[in-house]
Amino acid sequence: MRENLYPSFGILLIDDEASFLRSFSLLLEMTVGINHVYTCDDSRQAMDLIEKNDIGLVLLDVNMPYLSGELLLSAIVERHPDINVIMLSGLNQLETAMDCIRLGAFDYFVKTTDQVRLVDGIKRAIKMQEMRLENQEMRRLFFSGALQNPEAFEDIVTQDKSMKLVFQYIESISKNNRHVLITGESGTGKEAIAQVIHNLSGRKAPLICMNVAGLDDTLFSDTLFGHHRGAFSGADKARLGMIEQANGGTLFLDEIGDLSLSSQVKLLRLLQEGEYYPLGSDTPKRVNARIIVATHQDLEAKQMDGSFRRDLYYRLCMHQVELPPLRKRLADIPLLLEFFLEKAADELEVNKPTAPKELAVLLQNYSFPGNVRELQALCFDAVSRHRGGVLSMSVFKRACESADTKIAVSENQTSSLYPNDLPLPTLQESAELLVDEAMRRANGNQSIASRLLGISQPALSKRLKSRTTPS
Give the DSSP H/E element, type plus range, for residue 290.
Answer: strand 290-295
Q: How far out from the chain centre does Cα 296 lie?
A: 13
- Give the pTM: 0.75
Q: How far out from the chain centre does Cα 374 lie?
A: 22
What is the model's pLDDT at position 433?
83
The fold of the 427-468 domain, in CATH, is Arc Repressor Mutant, subunit A (1.10.10)
State what percent of residues in the chain have pLDDT above 70: 94
The CATH code of domain 327-402 reads 1.10.8.60
The CATH code of domain 156-324 reads 3.40.50.300
Q: Fill in the amino acid letter for 346.
A: D
Handedness of CA 383, 389, 394, 399 (dihedral sign): positive
CA distance 367 to 345: 25
Burial of 100 (0-12, 13-18, 19+ CB in 10 A): buried
What's the mean pLDDT in 405-418? 49
Expressed in angstroms, the distance from the first to the final Cα of the chain is: 85
CA distance 325 to 357: 23
Residue 377 has pLDDT above 50, yes or no: yes
- Tell me the domain boundaries of the chain: 10-136, 156-324, 327-402, 427-468
- Determine the longest span between alpha carbons in the chain, in angstroms: 103
DSSP state of 317: T
Residue 471 has pLDDT above 70, yes or no: no
CA distance 291 to 252: 6
Is there a shared CATH topology between the 327-402 domain and the 427-468 domain?
Answer: no
What is the model's pLDDT at position 108?
93
Q: What pLDDT band is residue 91 in, cutting at 50, 70 and 90?
A: confident
251 touches 289 (CB < 8 A): yes
DSSP state of 279: B
DSSP state of 294: E
Residue 16 has pLDDT above 60, yes or no: yes
116's CB contacts (< 8 A; 6+ apart) are: none
One-character DSSP codes across 373-417: HHHHHHHHHHHHH--SSBPPSHHHHHHHHHS--SPPPPTT--S-S
What's the mean pLDDT in 289-305? 95
73's CB contacts (< 8 A; 6+ apart) are: 60, 85, 87, 100, 103, 104, 105
What is the model's pLDDT at position 470?
59
Please give the mean pLDDT across all residues of the chain: 89
Instruction: Compute the CA torsion angle 288, 318, 173, 287 (nearest 10 deg).
Output: 0
What is the model's pLDDT at position 414?
46
State what percent of residues in the chain have pLDDT above 90: 63
Residue 83 has pLDDT above 90, yes or no: yes
State pLDDT tens for residues 43-75.
Answer: 999 999 999 999 999 999 999 999 999 999 999
Share in percent of the chain as helix, strand, coil (round to 5) = 50, 15, 35
CA Rg value for the chain: 30
Q: Does domain 10-136 have CATH number 3.40.50.2300?
A: yes
**Could you give phi then psi for residue 307, rounded to 5 degrees?**
-95, 0
Residue 429 has pLDDT above 80, yes or no: no
88 touches 62 (CB < 8 A): yes
315's CB contacts (< 8 A; 6+ apart) are: 179, 268, 271, 272
Q: Which residues of 11-40 are buried (b: 16+ CB within 10 A; e: fewer)?
A: bbbbbeeeebbeebbeebeeebbbbbbbbb
Q: What pLDDT band is residue 440 in, cutting at 50, 70 and 90?
A: confident
What's the mean pLDDT in 314-325? 93
Handedness of CA 419, 421, 424, 430 (dihedral sign): negative
Q: How far out from the chain centre does Cα 360 lie?
A: 30
Residue 3 has pLDDT above 60, yes or no: no
Q: Fill in the amino acid letter for 231.
A: A
